[in-house]
Chains A and B, each alone.
Chain A
Amino acid sequence: MNDGVISQVDQPRLNPMFRFQWEKAQDCYVLLYPEGMIQLNGPAGEIMALVDGKRSVADIIITLEQKFRDAGDLTEDITGFLGDAYAQHWITL
């Protein structure tokens, strides 16, 4: 995985190539790009919904840990996903 690329102080932002939105018909968050669509699963959508160029990775982790109290420590999942998202050019740091 790509941990190591992402640090807690990074403030990820959406690559302007993509548009992020909730799709009622798919019942999930999606990333739209020229002539294509990526359907995000529940956790991925929750993380991307917090990516705004201002929140740091640490903020995103705290916010989601508060929202999903039963899930325990989410640091690894979230940094792992953001590392992949960065590798896919969905986000910039």
Chain B
Amino acid sequence: MRSTGSPCSARPSLPTEVKPHGQPLWLLAELTYKCPLQCPYCSNPLDFSDYSSELSTQQWLDLFQQGRELGAVQLGFSGGEPLVRQDLKQLIGGAHEMGYYTNLITSGVGLNADKMADFRDAGLDHIQVSFQASDESVNNMLAGSEKAFQQKLNMAKEVKAQGYPMVLNFVTHRHNIDRIDRIIELCIELQADYVELATCQYYGWAHENVEQLLPTRQQLEHAEQVTNRYRQQLEEAGNPMKLIFVTPDYYEERPKGCMNGWGQVFLTITPDGMALPCHSARMLPIEFPRVTEMSLQEIWDQSPGFNYFRGDDWMQEPCRSCDEKDKDFGGCRCQAYMLAGDMHAADPVCGKSPDHHKIEAVRQRSETVRNDSSAFVYRNTRNSRIFARG
């Protein structure tokens, strides 16, 4: 497992201080960056076409085992599109035997009833299907594929028919958020157990497309009202379906406590074997550890990358002396890096950040910008090469 290249057998002394941290309860396995869709808000790195190597079946199984020993209990298979991996059933089976609760996070493209039954046999606990809108044309426009929507509908029905719990995930944005009532109706019809109505975080591809994605404040308030009305109706009807509505932090005055704290709960592994405290952290100028060079335990407990933003010694003003720093940990590091140009800065979403005006400017633009789907930068290999370094 280890190939640190050190000539002596003694353990190398570690330069970083190890700070208090929890267990990696959540392990996210990004199995591949390959995907048949081209969502303009994809969270994969802009230069994903640079990273085409993938970990082997045996490497993944070994990582799952290590994660389990560290206390991981939820395992997410994502990507890209995880169904592209031919060994998915084997990976599910292995993880299930280790005692994980296994989650398949898929666009539904490439799924069919036989595969679903196969995965069920292997021990898959849950399938999350993501949708772009309830309206076929908007949905297809956004996914860059004509057939995608009908396939998703069929797959969602099949997920329920096979007795899986079902989470439907709708990414909302200015092009579809006004139809949230239809989105919810569709979920009721499909008998979803949980529905996530979330605007995307504006990293990666979504950051490139923020103008065409960010809803206006008015759109957002309307959508929240509609959601609340449905919540009440569902409760009155004794329907246990849960609606989870996530507002974009661009409209808040305080950032979210990103990932429940850096290196506290989440551990993501990229297709090519990089370990990250958050799936978007790859963009930061930090050297993150590789699973081919260190054990997960060393990565989680000792690696400089995972200790980088633990605790609050790294903070600058206004966070350092702020009495809310235990609540939000200074917000999202990626957002600070992208918008304030310094990953140690306060998240510009915060009203106290000196860069907060940048968020206000984007908000303001959302009031006047015209919806134009031809302006989207789609997530595909051609566009990725433009962002790639090599």
Binding site for B on A (CB under 8 A): 16-17, 19, 21, 23, 25-26, 30, 32-37, 89
The 5 residue pairs across chains A and B that have the minimum distance between CB atoms: A25-B71, A32-B101, A34-B126, A17-B165, A34-B167
Q: Are B125 and A32 in contact (CB under 8 A)?
A: yes
B residues 156-195 touching A (CB-CB < 8 Å): 163, 165, 167, 193-194
Q: Are A35 and B23 in contact (CB under 8 A)?
A: no
Known A19-B101, A19-B125, A89-B240; contact A37-B25, beta-carbon cutoff 8 A = yes
- A35 vs B105: C-alpha distance when bound (angstroms): 10
**Which residue of the partner chain B has the closest CB to A24?**
B71
Q: Are A30 and B194 in contact (CB under 8 A)?
A: no
Which residues of A have CB within 8 Å of B74?
A: 32, 35-37
Q: Are A21 and B99 in contact (CB under 8 A)?
A: yes
Which residues of B have CB within 8 Å of A21?
A: 99
**Which residue of the partner chain A has the closest CB to B126?**
A34
Which residues of B have CB within 8 Å of A19?
A: 101, 125
- A64 vs B25: C-alpha distance when bound (angstroms): 31
Interface residue? B197 (CB, 8 A):
no
- A64 vs B258: C-alpha distance when bound (angstroms): 42
Interface residue? B128 (CB, 8 A):
yes
Known pairs A25-B70, A33-B101, A34-B128. 4 more at Cβ < 8 A?
A17-B193, A25-B23, A34-B193, A35-B126
Nearest-neighbour CB distance to chain B for A80, whole angstroms, equals 21
Interface residue? B277 (CB, 8 A):
no
Which residues of A have CB within 8 Å of B125?
A: 19, 32, 34
Tell me the dominant secondary structure on chain B's binding face.
loop
**Which residue of the partner chain B has the closest CB to A36?**
B74
Q: Are B76 and A35 in contact (CB under 8 A)?
A: yes
Binding site for A on B (CB under 8 A): 23, 25-26, 70-71, 73-74, 76, 99, 101, 103, 125-126, 128, 163, 165, 167, 193-194, 240
Nearest-neighbour CB distance to chain A for B100, whole angstroms, equals 9
**Which residue of the partner chain B has the closest CB to A22?**
B99
A-B contact pairs, 11 of them (CB 8 A): A17-B193, A25-B23, A25-B71, A26-B73, A32-B73, A32-B125, A34-B126, A34-B193, A37-B73, A37-B74, A89-B240
Q: Are B167 and A35 in contact (CB under 8 A)?
A: yes
Q: Are B165 and A33 in contact (CB under 8 A)?
A: yes
**Which residue of the partner chain A has the closest CB to B128?**
A34
**Which residue of the partner chain B has the closest CB to A21?**
B99
Q: Are B71 and A35 in contact (CB under 8 A)?
A: no
- A79 vs B327: C-alpha distance when bound (angstroms): 36
Q: Are A30 and B73 in contact (CB under 8 A)?
A: yes
**Which residue of the partner chain A has the closest CB to B194?**
A34
- A23 vs B100: C-alpha distance when bound (angstroms): 10
- A19 vs B163: C-alpha distance when bound (angstroms): 14
- A42 vs B7: C-alpha distance when bound (angstroms): 49
Q: Are B103 and A34 in contact (CB under 8 A)?
A: yes
Known A17-B193, A19-B101, A19-B125; contact A34-B73, beta-carbon cutoff 8 A = no
Which residues of B have CB within 8 Å of A17?
A: 165, 193
Known A19-B125, A34-B126; contact A26-B71, beta-carbon cutoff 8 A = yes
**Which residue of the partner chain A has the closest CB to B72?**
A25
Which residues of B have CB within 8 Å of A89?
A: 240
Which residues of A have CB within 8 Å of B76?
A: 35
- A11 vs B194: C-alpha distance when bound (angstroms): 26
- A35 vs B244: C-alpha distance when bound (angstroms): 13
Q: Are B193 and A16 in contact (CB under 8 A)?
A: no
Most B Cβ at <10 Å: residue of A34, A35, A36: A34
Nearest-neighbour CB distance to chain A for B181, whole angstroms, equals 24
- A37 vs B165: C-alpha distance when bound (angstroms): 15
- A36 vs B242: C-alpha distance when bound (angstroms): 14
Known A19-B125, A25-B71; contact A34-B165, beta-carbon cutoff 8 A = yes
Nearest-neighbour CB distance to chain B for A86, whole angstroms, equals 11
Nearest-neighbour CB distance to chain A for B199, whole angstroms, equals 18
Which residues of A have CB within 8 Å of B165?
A: 16-17, 33-34
Q: Are B73 and A35 in contact (CB under 8 A)?
A: no
**Which residue of the partner chain B has the closest CB to A16?**
B163
- A33 vs B240: C-alpha distance when bound (angstroms): 14
**Which residue of the partner chain A has the closest CB to B165?**
A17
